[in-house]
Amino acid sequence: MCVCFCAMIQALFADDDFLIIDKPAGLAVQPGEGVRVCVLDAVERDFGFRPYLVHRLDKETSGCLVVARSSRAAAELSALMGGRGAVKTYRAVVFGVPDPAAGAFRDDVRVKGESVSAETRYRTVESDGRLSLVEAELGTGRTHQIRQHFAQAGLPIVGDDRHGDFKRNKALAKELGAKRLMLYAARLYLPLKPPVDVRSSLPPHFAAFFERWGRGGAE
């Protein structure tokens, strides 16, 4: 899906050391094959500095993303993000209904061909019996961790053609217009002094989906 990234990237927080942006879906974090504009380019264009990456989001995952203004700040923030103090909360729409409604996945996930330990805590926000809006909090930060854990639990994320259910994704795209990965980084809490607690905006594709689904308003 082609997306224009001419609009200015929204800042959720900024100080002398780092910036938290609201990354739009479809914008790659770093350069790569077929990538015309990435987060590094967009931040430099809009905020006047070449950022250092602190963590990453998948190209199709929108929401809270931290970038640093220096290598020192990047190292300090990376350590903070990898510790127990930072809280990274995501929201997703999945096929099925979690049972129990809240809990934790602790099955290993695959990262670069190897099986590694991972923890994802979750709660069900609302459900219609076929689809559910869920909230997930990372206990670890493995690649595609949330996507793998929900798929392993028989609750694939809508729009996830890599770890999810391609056939059901295709059908739901026709029925409710769910043509993107239904996952976004909704909230980020950093235990600094003072603490930083930000929330991303509701992605446009989520808003459009919720309107068609007739749900998505619960907190």
Burial of 57 per CB tally in 10 Å (0-12, 13-18, 19+): buried
pLDDT in tens, 155-200: 999 999 999 999 999 999 999 999 999 999 999 999 999 999 999 9
pLDDT in tens, 86-137: 999 999 999 999 999 999 999 999 998 899 999 999 999 999 999 999 999 9
- 10-24, 26-40, 142-156, 186-200: range with lowest mean pLDDT: 26-40
Q: For residue 166, is it within any domain? A: yes
Q: For residue 76, is it within any domain? A: yes
The pLDDT, as a whole number, for residue 1 is 40
Q: What is the pTM of this model?
A: 0.93
Q: For residue 3, is it within any domain? A: no
Coil/strand/helix, residue 79: helix
Q: For residue 4, is it within any domain? A: no
Q: For residue 184, is it within any domain? A: yes
Q: Is 128 a catalytic residue?
A: no
Q: Is residue 7 pLDDT above 70, yes or no?
A: yes
- Residue 129, phi-psi category: left (phi > 0), alpha (psi -120 to 50), beta (remainder): left
User: Could you tell me if 125 and 133 are in contact, meaning their C-beta atoms sit under 8 angstroms apart?
Assistant: yes
Q: How many domains does the chain have?
A: 1
Q: For residue 34, is it within any domain? A: yes
Q: For residue 110, is it within any domain? A: yes
CATH number at residue 68: 3.30.2350.10
What is the residue range of 192's domain? 10-213
Q: For residue 49, is it within any domain? A: yes
Choosing from 41, 58, 160, 165, the catalytic residue is 58
Sign (positive or negative) of CA dihedral 199, 205, 206, 208: positive
